[in-house]
Structure formats: structure tokens, C-alpha cells
Amino acid sequence: MIERIREEARKAFEEGKIEILIGFGRGTLRATPIFIEKKEDVDKLIWDDTCWINLATYLRRFRGKKTGIVAKGCDARSVVALIAEKQLKREDVYIIGVPCQGMKNEKGEEFLSCRYCEYPTPPVYDVLVGEKREGKKENYPDVSEFESMPPEKRWEFFSEEAKKCIRCYACREACPMCYCEECFVDSLDPRWLEPGLSLSSLQFWHLVRAYHQAGRCSDCGACERACPMDVKILYLTRKLNKEVRELFGFVTGLDPEALPPLGTYSTEDKEEFIL
């Protein structure tokens, strides 16, 4: 696999398709993002099951440059979502797609988002390295389980998780879709929520960040893994993914032409909740 990735990267440089390539290299603890600017350096690229950062996060830094990206399924879906939101031009991005074997934590356990991954193979790519992999069709069993808990228990869980947060915003920064020029938490006028670690402020942050991801999240799980405090985040974002699929029949990151579900509408949308 690694050899194939390097080979495709080299070819892309030689054919002038890319000026810079975002990929994974050997870090001191695990795979780390690297940025390759000449073909001689492609041998620094690696691939293993610690490549869990979503590299699409970096793409906007290189806007206007022909940028290559080594992308697993979820990374590629984020790229597509960014294109759909007009943050990138399709022709500026060269996707070296890698069918993903699933990522693991330092204990060797597969991450939640990988366990239920539906799209290990990038749905959109310029070149695919290796054989396509089938995804799982499990329809969010973890979300259903959470939904079946009584509301008080759900609130308690939500509060306990939010309480761990120290507001370092690693989740936000690791997320390719969190690209607002000014995040609502940083805004002083209006000041949406207070600084500090009061429970309601932390809940505010977690609710609104999850909300902002509705219909945009590719379920890569980078936010949760980036969190130094081990706050659970995916149970929120995955719920909204499920909801967006059930209500609007939309799956993020499959089609760069598709409008984001909250940026469009259907006259047939359900409205039982409206008086």
C-alpha cells in the first residue's frame, strides 16, 4: 500500500498535477501530517492504522495551489463537502484515494467511527490506490442505543461529557468543516456564550458545534480523537448524520454538486412538529 501511494504521488508530481501534497509521514508517536513539495520527498509518505487525522483540514491553507491529498474515505468525503460548500475548487484538489482499513488507537482498538464506517473507500477520487473496500451498513446502532435511554439519563451523560471539556478547541481545529472566519465562541459582539468552564457554557459549545455539523460531518471522528480530555463528541454528530439521512435523505460528501441539506429544502419535508 505504502509503495502504491508513493508511486501515485510521484506520478502526480511528474505530470504536474500537484504542487504540494498533504499526506502522512512517520511521527514520533504515530502517523503525522506531512507536506511534500517535491517528488524526491514522496518516500516520506507512509500509511498505517494511526493515520486518523482528517487531512482535509489543511486544504484551505493552500487554496489556489494545485494540492494533492492522500485521503481515506472520510477525508475524501470532507473534501467533497468543502467543494460543495464552495471552499475549494474541484480542479485544485487531486485526491489520491486510499480504501481505509480502519484506524486504531494506541491500545489497538478500532475507533467507533471506523467500526461503523460506511464509506472506507473514497466515493470521489482522482486515483485510487488498492482494492475498493465495502463499508458496513449498520445504521447507527450506537445512536439508537443512546436514544433508547430515558431523557434524564441522556442529559446526565451529555452533562458529564461536557464537564470534561477545557475549551482548547482541538475538536474544532481538527475538523475540516469548522472553517468559520470567526467561530461563534470567539465572538465578543454578540457574545453568544460566556468564557469559562461553567456547565451550561460547555453544553452550549457542544450543542452548537454539533448543530453546525449537521449535514456536513463525514463522521471521520477526528474531533473526538483530537480531544485531549477524551470528551465524547461522536454521539452528537452521528445523531445528526442519522437525522439528516432520515429526514432529508442526504449523506455528506458523496457528490460535490449536491447542495448541503440545510442549504436547500424540499416542499415535502416533514413538519409534524410545527403547530
**Binding residues for another protein restricted to 87-146, rule: CB under 8 A:** 146
Of the residues 107, 196, 249, 257, which one makes contact with another protein according to CB under 8 A: 196
Q: Please identify, among the stretches 3-11, 116-124, 130-138, 166-174, the one whose residues bind another protein according to the rule CB under 8 A.
A: 166-174
**Binding residues for another protein restricted to 53-92, rule: CB under 8 A:** 53, 57-58, 61
Per-residue x/- track, 221-260, another protein (CB under 8 A): -x--xx-xx------x--xx--xx--xx------------
Beta bridge partners of 33: 24
Residue 211 CB, nearest approach to another protein (Å): 6
Of the residues 91, 131, 152, 257, which one makes contact with another protein according to CB under 8 A: 152
d(C-alpha 106, C-alpha 50), whole Å: 8
Does residue 153 bind another protein (CB under 8 A)? yes
Q: Are 227 and 248 in contact (CB under 8 A)?
A: no
d(C-alpha 67, C-alpha 174), whole Å: 19
* Nearest residue to 112 (alpha-carbon basis) of 141, 148, 92, 134: 141
* Nearest residue to 226 (alpha-carbon basis) of 274, 165, 181, 141: 165
d(C-alpha 243, C-alpha 248), whole Å: 8
Residue 171 CB, nearest approach to another protein (Å): 8
Q: Please identify, among the stretches 76-84, 88-96, 113-121, 211-219, the one whose residues bind another protein according to the rule CB under 8 A.
A: 211-219
Residue 30 CB, nearest approach to another protein (Å): 6
Does residue 209 bind another protein (CB under 8 A)? no
Residue 72 CB, nearest approach to another protein (Å): 16
Of the residues 156, 160, 180, 259, which one makes contact with another protein according to CB under 8 A: 156
Does residue 19 bind another protein (CB under 8 A)? no
Q: Are 80 and 251 in contact (CB under 8 A)?
A: no
Residue 133 CB, nearest approach to another protein (Å): 25
Beta bridge partners of 25: 32, 45
With CB under 8 A as the rule, give the number of residues binding another protein: 77
Smaller CB separation from another protein, 42 or 240: 240
Q: At what angle do helices 199-212 and 234-248 cross, to 10 degrees?
A: 40
Q: What are phi and psi of 268, to 5 degrees?
A: -90, 0
**Binding residues for another protein restricted to 22-41, rule: CB under 8 A:** 27-35
Q: Are 21 and 12 in contact (CB under 8 A)?
A: yes
Name the DSSP class of 169: -
Residue 35 CB, nearest approach to another protein (Å): 5
Of the residues 40, 134, 138, 147, which one makes contact with another protein according to CB under 8 A: 147
Beta bridge partners of 175: none
Q: At what angle do helices 151-163 and 199-212 cross, to 10 degrees?
A: 100
Smaller CB separation from another protein, 58 or 133: 58
Q: Go through the chain and tell me how many residues it has.
A: 275
